[in-house]
């Protein structure tokens, strides 16, 4: 499998080029071609999943060629356990999202071309092992996302799109400066992330912390961590369904992925110094804050958006534990949140397509008319709640177990917040699906085959990972153990580990 990651990353871009060449008066053809261009990436992803060597901590499927020689910038891609998990998540969600977008009828060509560009950008971020390349892909994602929200979004799309753009761009500007300072920090100048590992040690502690914070803000905007989260509810509410799925399923993970890959790997000492306030405490605050906000929402989509903020808080808390359980739980939670939130947004999309509104108070008793829909919805809500037997249970328990050993006080707060989570989810379940059926919705059709095809794969994964979490844990274990050691060793010694 030569250059498999390169193929995976750029095949969707090729698809985008093909889509652009198709005549715009044949939307059906465009949609099918778009779906077809996401499938090879998914197939390669499955193959990668099977062939991935779970024992080694080294980067695999590495592809490296010089790109800009005078600055030692390489086209350098590869995966370890963390990134392959994210790559798989992306490769899985994209075909489902294309399928979920078949209802788009305005500017079909542009929509799917941009979507495929977005997929290339996302995969690129996860496979890039050169900081410069990482940054390029990070920015490449920005534009398609901006247009997908801004052109195909809801009534306040313009505002949401600009807010998304400005927040992310401001963050990446900080990343650029930190990146350059790291580059010039020591000889030989390099952007290669593996070679930068522990490079932070050449700076004095104060500079390290400043660098760490600059990078942290860039990533925290994506997570999104309070107080950088305000773009998220707007973006989610206005974005079309499939884009919400991508936003919550993949883009938010880039924040925590970036923290693990860049902040943890390159600046271990500062990570240990600052993790308590900026990750553990802030993460716990996110959990409680997101849950409380979710309780107050009347819009179903906004509720799911705030639940995302809450759930990403667990990832931050787990990362800050520096114990194997905590960090493994955090990455598992990233994957699980990706599937469960995707499922939730798809479900919201289904009902929105039928009722053309998302007011929780406007529904009721849907269980009677849409039994299959209700079944999937119940599964998704219970999974989000962290019910045993479903995927999020394992990851949240791991996070809490891991965090307990280091931050017991915060862990108690985070664990108590589960009551809030259960509260808003059950309450919503009751208001929308149970109770008296509104006359207007007596004749709503149940989910059709296409919608079911988008929902079932995700539901199956949620079930499967609830029973057998090792499918993911085995992938990430070795790499995360290594990273965790690196942070602790790097911080203890105060020098770059070789």
Partner 1 sequence: MEQLLLPAIDWLAVLPVGLTSILGLVLLALGLFVDDDETLGWITLIGLAVTAVATACLAGQKSITFNGTFALDAYALFFDLLFLVAGIVVVLMSMTYLEGTGIPSGDYYGLLAFAIAGMIVMASATDLIVVFLGLEIMSISVYVLAGAWRTQLRSNEAAMKYFLLGAFATGFLLYGIALVYGATGAFRLDRIATAVGDTPNRTMLIAGVAMLIIAFGFKVAAVPFHMWTPDVYEGAPTTVTALMAVAVKAAGFAAFVRVFLHGFGGLHADWSMLLWVIAALTMTVGNVLALAQRNVKRMLAYSSIAHAGYILVALVASGAAGGTAALFYLLVYSFMTLGAFGVVAALGSVGEPNETLDDYAGIGFRRPLLGVTMTIFMLSLTGIPPLAGFAGKFYVFTAAIREGYYVLAVIGVLNSAISSAYYVRVLIAMYLTPGAEEHGRVARQPYLLTSIVVSAVMTVVVGVFPALWMQLARFGFLSL
Site residues for partner 1 per CB under 8 A: 67-71, 107, 135-136, 139-140, 142-143, 146-147, 150-151, 157-158, 161-162, 165-166, 169-170, 173, 176-177, 180-181, 183-184
Query: What's the min distance (Å) between Cβ of 170 and partner 1?
Result: 5
3-state SS, residue 60? strand
Q: Measured between alpha carbons, how far is residue 316 from residues 126, 231, 319, 394, 477 in Å?
A: 18, 19, 5, 16, 18
In the bound state with partner 1, the residue whose beta carbon lies nearer, of 21 and 177, is: 177
Cα dihedral 316, 317, 323, 325 sign: negative
In the bound state with partner 1, the residue whose beta carbon lies nearer, of 165 and 231, is: 165
Please enumerate in sequence order all residues whose Cβ is within 8 A of that of 485, keeping only pairs 6 or more positions apart, or say none.
Answer: none
In the bound state with partner 1, the residue whose beta carbon lies nearer, of 113 and 385, is: 113
Query: What's the min distance (Å) between Cβ of 299 and partner 1?
Result: 22
Query: What's the min distance (Å) between Cβ of 161 and partner 1?
Result: 7
Query: What's the min distance (Å) between Cβ of 306 and partner 1?
Result: 26
In the bound state with partner 1, the residue whose beta carbon lies nearer, of 128 and 280, is: 128
In the bound state with partner 1, the residue whose beta carbon lies nearer, of 14 and 176, is: 176
Cβ atoms of 106 and 138 closer than 8 Å: no
- 447: part of which helix (H) or strand (E)? none
Cβ-based neighbour number of residue 21 at 10 Å: 10
CA-wise closest residue to 86 among 333, 409, 406, 281:
333
Burial of 159 from C-beta contacts in 10 A (0-12 / 13-18 / 19+):
middle
In the bound state with partner 1, the residue whose beta carbon lies nearer, of 40 and 154, is: 154
The residues facing 377 across adjacent strands are none
Query: What's the min distance (Å) between Cβ of 264 and partner 1?
Result: 24
3-state SS, residue 75? strand
Query: What's the min distance (Å) between Cβ of 273 and partner 1?
Result: 22
Distance separating alpha carbons of residues 273 and 246, to the nearest angstrom: 33
Distance separating alpha carbons of residues 308 and 291, to the nearest angstrom: 9
Q: Which two structure tokens, joined as six digits, stand for 170?
A: 């401001």
Integer Rg of the chain from CA: 22
In the bound state with partner 1, the residue whose beta carbon lies nearer, of 143 and 453, is: 143
In the bound state with partner 1, the residue whose beta carbon lies nearer, of 116 and 398, is: 116
Query: What's the min distance (Å) between Cβ of 272 and partner 1?
Result: 26
Cβ atoms of 258 and 215 closer than 8 Å: yes
Query: What's the min distance (Å) between Cβ of 136 and partner 1?
Result: 4
């Amino acid at each position: 499998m030569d250059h498999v990651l390169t193929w995976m990353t750029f095949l969707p871009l090729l698809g985008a080029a093909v889509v652009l060449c198709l005549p715009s008066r044949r939307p059906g053809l465009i949609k099918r071609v778009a779906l077809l261009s996401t499938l090879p990436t998914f197939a390669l992803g499955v193959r990668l999943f099977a062939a991935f060597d779970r024992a080694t901590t080294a980067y695999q499927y590495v592809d490296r060629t010089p790109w800009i020689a005078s600055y030692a910038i390489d086209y350098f891609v590869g995966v370890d356990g963390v990134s392959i998990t994210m790559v798989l998540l992306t490769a899985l969600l994209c075909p489902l999202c294309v399928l979920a977008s078949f209802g788009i009828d305005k500017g079909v060509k542009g929509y799917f071309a941009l979507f495929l560009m977005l997929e290339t950008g996302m995969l690129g971020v996860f496979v890039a092992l050169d900081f410069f390349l990482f940054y390029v892909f990070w920015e490449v994602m920005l534009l398609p996302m901006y247009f997908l929200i801004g052109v195909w979004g809801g009534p306040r799309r313009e505002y949401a799109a600009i807010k998304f753009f400005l927040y992310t761009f401001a963050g990446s500007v900080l990343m650029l400066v930190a990146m350059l300072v790291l580059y010039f920090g020591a000889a030989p100048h390099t952007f290669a992330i593996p070679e930068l590992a522990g490079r932070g040690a050449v700076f004095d502690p104060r500079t390290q912390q400043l660098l760490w914070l600059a990078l942290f803000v860039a990533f925290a905007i994506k997570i999104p961590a309070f107080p950088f989260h305000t773009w998220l509810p707007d973006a989610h509410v206005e974005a079309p369904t499939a884009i919400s799925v991508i936003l919550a399923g993949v883009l938010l993970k880039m924040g925590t992925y970036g923290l693990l890959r860049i902040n943890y790997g390159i600046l271990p000492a500062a990570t240990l110094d600052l993790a308590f306030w900026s990750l553990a405490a802030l993460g716990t605050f996110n959990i409680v804050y997101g849950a409380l906000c979710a309780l107050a929402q009347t819009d179903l989509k906004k509720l799911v958006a705030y639940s995302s903020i809450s759930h990403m808080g667990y990832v931050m808390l787990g990362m800050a534990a520096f114990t194997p359980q905590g960090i493994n739980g955090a990455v598992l939670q990233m994957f699980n949140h990706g599937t469960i939130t995707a499922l939730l947004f798809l479900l919201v999309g289904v009902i929105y397509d039928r009722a053309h509104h998302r007011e929780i108070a406007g529904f009721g008793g849907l269980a009677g008319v849409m039994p299959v829909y209700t079944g999937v919805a119940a599964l998704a809500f219970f999974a989000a709640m962290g019910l045993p037997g479903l995927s999020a249970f394992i990851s949240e328990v791991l996070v809490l177990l891991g965090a307990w050993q280091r931050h017991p006080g915060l862990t108690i707060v985070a664990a108590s917040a589960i009551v809030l989570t259960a509260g808003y989810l059950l309450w919503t379940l009751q208001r929308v699906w149970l109770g008296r059926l509104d006359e207007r919705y007596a004749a709503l059709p149940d989910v059709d085959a296409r919608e079911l095809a988008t929902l079932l794969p995700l539901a199956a994964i949620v079930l499967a990972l609830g029973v057998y979490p090792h499918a993911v844990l085995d992938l990430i274990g070795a790499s995360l153990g290594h990273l965790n050691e690196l942070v602790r060793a790097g911080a203890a010694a105060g020098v770059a580990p070789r």
